[in-house]
Structure 1
């Protein structure tokens, strides 16, 4: 078995996780290939001292890998997705962060869940991604042109709202007067969109969510649409530029630029461990069914 390992170091929380994972895989003769920058941090912190094979680019991840282990929070998984891209290599998230809707394996259960991995007792959850093209060339967008959680537009250098003209399959939907607009995948429905009042979608739903950010027209509500919909946005405002984000990657775009958003032809494969389902994660993270008034 061959696994890629990528992560982010958190003081006092990551070291025990790393020690447990490395010890388990070593004892079970699993070949580990470590992302080069992450490995340099582990050497610097003196967490490990052995030599390992490394990778530093998505071009080095191929079908020879059984999976990529992401150690960190949900943000780490979003960056891991940028490494995996269309290779099909599944991602397993080990939660060393806080909330963690994507990084579902908790540090208390690592040994148990790693055994499931060795025995291949897991399922694959396919996750929709979004791509973005612009009417004006933008190198920052073209470099990594997909998002696992959401694509959003928002105001820049101003407290004034922007206007987002929105078209679905070339039919006019609405002009949102707001701080911005979020186009979220089912995976991203528990992220930025949810914090702005958007609905939660289960990962297998073939839909997207259009969620305004602090809309001035209060009758503008989040909207669920089919994931085959082509979305076009045209943003205007008092400033010359506005911000576009693909997950955590942000760039500045000139006003009146037309953005075209649609589903990518490939998906990201997320590993689901037995008894760690999406619904269980919802109950645990959002305290559904619990009386917490006291």
Structure 2
């Protein structure tokens, strides 16, 4: 098997798990390609220099491997998406911290999960993306988001107005601090924190969630994912922030933003005994009772 490993920095608590990961891969004679800055972190921080087949530094030199292991949290997983893009390489999310919906293989589960992957006992689920159609190249050369596209006011003063259209039909003018357009995957991220609904990853919908709307009767809305959204933003500041997941830029007022479901999914490796519902119970502590 050939795999790529992508990661950022992590704390001392995950060192032993990381060493076990490389030991296992070497025992299985796995060809490893590693993100060069991550390799430098391992060698400088922990003097860990695993044997590898090669380096990669961007999506352009990422080889066509069987899987990509993302080591970190959900933010690291989202960055891994910008490397994998439309290559079809499945991503394995390994959580080096505590909470993670995308990086859902915990430190304690890692040994068993590696055995399952080696034996082919896993599922590959497809996650939908959002595509920012125009303007192209607004954030970078990858105008896609796994969690959400969002617009925000740039400063802490006045709110902005987001004129919103669905398939060119006028929906609403949101007077708010911002607006989130979310995938089902992103429903447990930023959208959830401002009162948006939780959606099953397999749901074919897009969530439109206002951020601190001035009109309290304005609520989150779920629309079919075959619709194209158009946003026209205005405000006193003359500029606003636009973001695709964690990548954001300042945009001039009057810029028309068009968003739709992307034409390709991201593939994510999931353990066979893992499900969306068990993730909700574990991460959101559903059913937990301090009295017990």
- Establish whether residue 237 from structure 1 lines up as the match of residue 235 from structure 2: yes
Partner residue, 1:97: 97
Query: TM-score, normalized by length of structure 1?
Result: 0.95
Which one of the candidate residues 190, 212, 222 is aligned to 2:188? 190
Of 268, 271, 288, which residue of structure 2 is paired with 1:270?
268
Residue 77 of structure 2 is aligned to residue 77 of structure 1: yes
2:18 is matched with 18
- Offset at 1:134? 3.2
1:171 corresponds to which residue? 169
SS of 2:144's partner is coil
Question: What's the offset of the Cα at 1:141?
Answer: 2.3
Instruction: Determine the C-alpha separation between the residues in 2 that align with 1:228 and 1:205.
Output: 12
Q: Which residue of 2 aligns with 1:61?
A: 62
Q: 1:261 to 1:140 in 2, by over 3 A?
A: closer
Gaps of 5+ in 2: none
Contact 2:182 2:208 in 1 (8 A): yes
TM-score normalised per structure 2 = 0.96
* Alignment partners' CA distance in 2, 1:146 and 1:139: 10
> How many residue pairs were aligned?
291
Shift of 1:8: 1.6
| Cα pair 1:20 1:110 within 8 Å, conserved | no
Deviation per CA, 1:76-108: give whole Å up to 9, x if none: 000000000000000010011232011110100
Secondary structure, aligned partner of 2:248: strand
Give the distance between the partners of 1:134 and 1:26, measured in 2 at CA: 45
RMSD: 1.4
Gap regions ≥5 residues in structure 1: none
Q: CA deviation at 1:13?
A: 2.8
Cα deviation digits, residues 168-217 of structure 1 (max 9, x gap): 01011000010000000011000000001000111111111000001111
- C-alpha separation in 2, matches of 1:115 and 1:123: 14
Corresponding residue for residue 227 of structure 1: 225
- Deviation at 1:6? 0.5
- Tell me if the contact between 2:6 and 2:34 (Cα under 8 Å) persists in the aligned partners: yes
Write the distance in 2 (CA, Å) between the matches of 1:100 and 1:143: 27
